[in-house]
Chains A and B, each alone.
Chain A
Amino acid sequence: MRTILPLAITFVTGMIMVLNFFVPHRPFNSMGNSLSDWYMIVASAAIFLGAMNLLQVHFARIRHRARNWQYSPVAIGGFLLMLTAGLVTGVEEGRAFDFMFQNMVVPMGATMFSLLAFFVASAAFRAFRSSNWRATLLLVSAFVVMLGRVPIGDLLWRLVPGAASGAHPSLVTEIAEWIMQVPNMAGQRAVMIGAALGVVATSLRMIFGVERSYLGGAD
């Protein structure tokens, strides 16, 4: 029963979602939406589990004086402060919760996001410095694409005698667009087709009980 019940639930719910996609007739048209609604209800209820886990983990760290426990009071304090502000004053615009969200959470998120610029630079440097022909090809492609995305690319091209009056006055932009739309798009579609097949295979394995590792490998 420990194995059969989860497998049966997986099979029934999986088949409902498949039928929901192909059969517009009642009751299949609404069953998929009902399951999605159930998931949303479960997920909403599970938020409390997450909050409880957060408190439990950090209180345990403080209690046991675990390594780096000093960060835990900050995490708990921040959580309780936002929770209290939301419960007491509400979450409408101009209230304490909204003030803290707009002036603390949003800037901190933006700060993390802005780090991406530096990380892109370091990752690009590492990718381009590899001394093989593929890295060189990548470097040249990236250089042309970046040049084609800014006005100075075509401006430089038009300095070439006859380029401005020729058939391709915006050659750099055209090459950049071709790289993005042809080789890049082909690669992306290959990844997506492969992934779609992987999704089908994984779904079939789970719906028909071939994949059972999530049950602890029980047969």
Chain B
Amino acid sequence: MRLFGLLALALAAGPAAQPAGPPGTGPVAYGQAAADSMPSPPPAPSVTGLAARDVRDDAGGAIELSWELVPGVTADSLLVSRSADGGTWETVAFLPGAEVVFTDEGLEDGVEYSYTVTSLLGGAASQPAGPVSAVPSAQWLHSKRTGMLIILVLLSGVIFWFIDQGRKGRKLYIREIAGLSAVDDAVGRATEMGRSVLYIPGIMGMDDIQTIASMIILGRVAGKTAEYGADLQVPVCNSVVMSVGQEIVKEAYLAAGRPDSYRRDNVFYLTDDQFGYAAGVDGIMVRQRPAAIFMLGTFYAESLILAETGKSVGAIQIAGTAMPSQLPFFIAACDYTLIGEELFAASAYLSREPKLLGSLKGQDAAKLIIMLVIVVGVLAASIGTWWAPAASLADFLRRILHVE
């Protein structure tokens, strides 16, 4: 122990590889102070229970040190020293005296690293705590996400089984979703009235799954407008969404055999600003008075501003989002609202393709499984208050369903 203390002091006094410490508490000052007070024994460390362990669920190259503070003793600073495979010691960090954890990164996997922590108290260095050792390594599977992986594989299995059933021609019952059944009526109404169809794909970018779902539905709606000959307007607030939207609408018009009706400028950029976008779309609604408005995607505070303006111009409105906080606004102001999962079911529902309908059926089956797990979990947690096996089951479910 004494040897490590001297090593740490010697290293602290050295000019190389010393991170800058707080003013007046630099390693040279402490090293000198310690050397001056050599005859008296160094004070006891301010930390205890030093432990080193490989950082779990990482890409390797990191060790986490943790310790506890000795009650009533607070060091000015803590000096962390490291030795690789029993080699020379080097200082790797100066930490505030109240710190209780440190992660050393940039290490080599498979090499054993030893650590000591020296407290710097009133100009003197304490005996070092430690040494403790650990070997950094990388993990191939995130241990706290194993439960999630199992659930994902199970759900995927169920969904794929139903997709296969659909492919084989099995008759699958899908409940009617009023908002999606009304898409044809909405586009037809706009055609008959000679007004446009306004499609608003939310205010997020293409890295948002709701925007992706919205783009898929846009393809279906564009197919209908191409078929009926209605005018489609798609104002967007993101340049990438604009590019994707233009391509999707173009493909839909080509697939409908109406490439001549496609106009690139019908999918146009307004602004990235949330309320600037809301103002721009409101202006389009008031000036053009579209007969049908689709609001499908991610919406925030602008949802009610858009929906109420659409209501005021007498348009038939179909909205859909998975944002729980915005759903009440859409339900209050729109004719039809796709709630959460219905937004993601829209493409399959509109296409009526057996494979896609199979995936919807699989989604419903997966939901049933989750409902059963919730019921079992609630019962187990309730009964577990007086029956230990049920408590164990509740703990198991909690552990497997917990995701970091």
B101 interface residue (CB < 8 Å to A): no
Q: Which of A108, A119, A197 contacts B308 (CB 8 A)?
A: A119
Nearest CB of chain A from residue B289's CB, rounded to whole Å? 11
Q: How far is the CA of A197 from the CA of B331 in the complex (A)?
A: 22
Task: Say whether, besides A47-B239, A108-B279, A112-B279, A214 and B145 are in contact (CB < 8 Å).
Answer: no
Query: Which of B's residues lie within 8 Å of A, judged by CB?
Result: 57-60, 138-142, 145, 148-149, 152, 155-156, 159-160, 163, 205-207, 209, 212-213, 215-216, 219-220, 223, 238-240, 242-243, 248, 251-252, 254-255, 265, 268-270, 272-276, 278-279, 283, 287, 301-302, 304-305, 307-308, 322, 324, 327, 329, 331-333, 339-345, 347-348, 351, 355-356, 359-360, 362-363, 366-367, 370
A193 interface residue (CB < 8 Å to B): yes
Q: Are A191's CB and B327's CB within 8 A? A: yes
A213 interface residue (CB < 8 Å to B): yes
Per-residue CB contact flags for chain A residues 43-62 toward chain B (1 = under 8 Å, else 0) read 10011111101101100100
Q: How far is the CA of A109 from the CA of B160 in the complex (A)?
A: 46
Nearest CB of chain A from residue B310's CB, rounded to whole Å? 11
Task: Say whether, besides A202-B344, A213-B351, A46 and B308 are in contact (CB < 8 Å).
Answer: no
A137 interface residue (CB < 8 Å to B): no
A63 interface residue (CB < 8 Å to B): no
Q: Are A22's CB and B145's CB within 8 A? A: yes
Q: Are A22's CB and B155's CB within 8 A? A: no
Residues of B within 8 A of A49 (CB): 239, 242-243, 269
Q: Which of B243, B324, B344 contacts A198 (CB 8 A)?
A: B344
29 A–B contacts from the bound complex (CB under 8 Å): A24-B57, A25-B138, A25-B139, A26-B59, A36-B207, A49-B269, A50-B272, A53-B239, A54-B269, A67-B287, A108-B276, A109-B274, A109-B276, A112-B279, A119-B305, A123-B329, A193-B370, A194-B341, A198-B342, A199-B322, A201-B363, A202-B216, A204-B159, A205-B356, A206-B212, A213-B347, A214-B251, A217-B219, A217-B255
A216 interface residue (CB < 8 Å to B): yes
Nearest CB of chain B from residue A69's CB, rounded to whole Å? 11
- Chain A interface mostly: helix
- Chain B interface mostly: helix
A42 interface residue (CB < 8 Å to B): yes
Q: Which of B141, B239, B324, B363 contacts A192 (CB 8 A)?
A: B324
Q: Are A119's CB and B304's CB within 8 A? A: yes
A76 interface residue (CB < 8 Å to B): no
Q: Which of A43, A127, A204, A210 contacts B205 (CB 8 A)?
A: A43
Nearest CB of chain A from residue B223's CB, rounded to whole Å? 8
Q: How far is the CA of A16 from the CA of B232 in the complex (A)?
A: 35
Q: How far is the CA of A210 from the CA of B324 in the complex (A)?
A: 28
Known pairs A21-B145, A211-B356 / 15 extra A-B pairs, C-beta < 8 Å? A25-B59, A29-B58, A29-B59, A36-B207, A46-B239, A46-B242, A49-B243, A54-B269, A120-B304, A193-B370, A201-B360, A202-B216, A205-B356, A216-B219, A217-B223
Q: Are B275's CB and A42's CB within 8 A? A: no
Q: Which of B242, B278, B347, B366 contacts A112 (CB 8 A)?
A: B278
Q: Which of A46, A108, A126, A203 contacts B275 (CB 8 A)?
A: A108
Per-residue CB contact flags for chain A residues 170-204 toward chain B (1 = under 8 Å, else 0) read 00000000000000000110011111011111111
Q: Are B276's CB and A105's CB within 8 A? A: yes
CB closest residue in chain A, given B246: A53
Residues of A within 8 A of B275 (CB): 108-110, 112-113
Q: How far is the CA of A54 from the CA of B276 in the complex (A)?
A: 14
A100 interface residue (CB < 8 Å to B): no
Q: Which of B138, B307, B340, B351 contacts A26 (CB 8 A)?
A: B138
Q: How far is the CA of A127 from the CA of B239 in the complex (A)?
A: 36
Q: Are A201's CB and B269's CB within 8 A? A: no
Q: Are B347's CB and A211's CB within 8 A? A: yes
A116 interface residue (CB < 8 Å to B): yes
Task: Say whether, besides A49-B239, A113-B275, A195-B341, A23 and B142 are in contact (CB < 8 Å).
Answer: yes
CB closest residue in chain B, given A44: B239
A39 interface residue (CB < 8 Å to B): yes
Q: How far is the CA of A198 from the CA of B322 in the complex (A)?
A: 10
Q: Are B207's CB and A68's CB within 8 A? A: no
